[in-house]
């Protein structure tokens, strides 16, 4: 079983705001197979050693360094912690605290030491919709299923969720063609299915309220289009799963949801590329790191897409946004694009993580501005 505890956006912002005399960010690939986890523990141990050496070279306080080392050693020796892992592990440590996140997506091994955390590899984990709700819906069956990457899907128990249309409406069948009622035949069936769909939507509201997790419908028409017409959840995805039915297992339904999620994120990036091109003609689109740093500092960025793999070392002036670049990583510098991303988030920008091939111009970042600079 894959165990994940992906950080939320508030978690991400709290980590981004953290400043300390030593912030150690470690990413290491792991495995949910407990018998094979030792390789990851060894890799983490080597990265910890590398980080300690960087701080020693900087002349870091020996007492604080010893405290940091002991905390990370404790993590390495925690057998219960290592018993349940996912595909990657992120560790954020200072001499005063250690935070860990087990992630569904696969990340490369990396360590960064600075006065702030290196968070860009986390970005795709919190912006790409790895999890989703799937509403498997038909006239005869209703299931709300939660899916999460490689996690086994789970049925969500929803109070007052109808089990089927006929019983929900107090009828033996919806196919009554008698002329004794006002609504009959196919017209009457559509009206009753609409009533049923509203009952399902009403039952889902308390469960989905305040959530931003995508909702996917697994249904065929007319049920799919009828529910879509009455659904009040704002994060309903436009594509429908039509390849499953009432006999499909939760696992089969979850598998069918993966390409829908992939398509949704690809469409989001494609829409950004289209907007970037449009705003370029208006002087409101940039892909230069130095320009983006200044724009982020002064709150000019509306939407930012960054390459989640590359690390550009340097520093960004707190007041002017001017960038100074370094060729190599040291304990005195940090990821410049990370800093731009953090400033953009703090100023209310929407930030997405992507591969460089998905970024306009194949650059380290691309930004759409609120106004021309």
Per DSSP, the three-state class of 100 is: strand
Give residue 32's pLDDT. Answer: 87
289-319 pLDDT per residue, tens: 999 999 999 999 999 999 988 889 999 999 9
pLDDT for the residue 354: 85
Q: Which residues of the chain have pLDDT under 50?
A: 1, 179-180
- For residues 264 and 214, is the Cβ–Cβ distance under 8 A? yes
pLDDT of residue 159: 94
pLDDT, tens digit, 9 for 90 and up, residues 319-340: 999 999 998 877 778 889 989 9
* Residues whose CB is less than 8 angstroms from the CB of residue 267 and which lie 6 or more positions away in sequence, other chains included: none
Please write the tens of the pLDDT for every residue from 242-259: 999 999 999 999 999 989
| Full set of structural domains in the chain with CATH | 9-127 (3.30.960.10), 131-263 (3.30.420), 282-369 (3.30.1330.30)
The residue whose two tokens read 């939407």 is 303
Block residue for tokens 């969720």:
161
Query: Residue 61 contacts by C-beta under 8 Å, 6 or more apart in sequence?
Result: 21
Residue 9 confidence (pLDDT) = 78
Stated as kind and residue range, the H or E segment containing 124 is: helix 120-127
Report the greatest alpha carbon distance in the chain. 90
Residue 346: which residues within 8 A CB-CB, separation 6 or more?
A: 13, 16, 17
What is the per-residue pLDDT for 189? 80
In the prediction, which pLDDT does 175 show?
60
Looking at residue 127, what is its pLDDT? 65
Q: Give me the residue label for tokens 């980590």.
A: 15
């Amino acid at each position: 079983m894959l165990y994940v505890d992906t950080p939320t956006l508030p978690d991400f912002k709290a980590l981004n705001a953290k400043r300390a005399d030593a912030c150690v960010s470690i990413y290491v690939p792991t495995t949910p197979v407990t018998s094979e986890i030792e390789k990851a523990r060894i890799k983490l141990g080597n990265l910890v050693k590398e980080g300690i050496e960087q701080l020693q070279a900087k002349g870091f306080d020996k007492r604080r360094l010893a405290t940091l080392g002991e905390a990370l050693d404790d993590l390495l020796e925690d057998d219960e912690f290592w018993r349940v892992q996912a595909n990657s592990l992120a560790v954020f440590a200072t001499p005063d605290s250690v935070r860990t996140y087990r992630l569904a997506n696969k990340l490369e091994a990396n360590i960064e030491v600075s006065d702030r955390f290196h968070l860009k590899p986390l970005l795709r984990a919190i912006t790409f919709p790895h999890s989703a709700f799937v509403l498997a819906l038909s006239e005869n069956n209703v299931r709300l299923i939660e899916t999460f990457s490689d996690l086994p899907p789970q049925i969500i128990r929803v109070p007052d969720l109808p089990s089927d249309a006929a019983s929900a409406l107090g009828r033996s069948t919806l196919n009554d063609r008698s002329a004794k009622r006002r609504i009959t035949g196919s017209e009457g069936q559509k009206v009753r299915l609409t009533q049923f769909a509203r009952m399902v939507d009403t039952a889902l509201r308390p469960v989905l309220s305040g959530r931003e997790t995508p909702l996917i419908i697994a249904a065929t028409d007319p049920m799919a289009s009828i529910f879509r017409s009455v659904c009040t959840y704002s994060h309903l995805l436009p594509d429908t799963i039509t390849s499953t039915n009432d006999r499909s297992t939760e696992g089969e339904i979850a598998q069918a949801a993966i390409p829908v999620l992939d398509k949704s994120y690809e469409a989001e990036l494609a829409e950004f590329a289209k907007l970037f091109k449009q705003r370029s003609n208006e002087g409101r689109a940039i892909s230069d790191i130095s320009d983006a740093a200044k724009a982020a500092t002064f709150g000019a960025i509306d939407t930012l897409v960054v390459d989640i793999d590359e690390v550009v070392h340097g520093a960004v002036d707190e007041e002017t946004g001017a960038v100074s670049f370094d060729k190599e990583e040291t304990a005195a510098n940090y990821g410049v694009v990370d800093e731009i991303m953090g400033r953009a988030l703090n100023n209310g920008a929407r930030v997405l993580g992507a591969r460089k091939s998905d970024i306009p111009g194949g650059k380290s970042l691309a930004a759409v501005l609120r106004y021309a600079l």
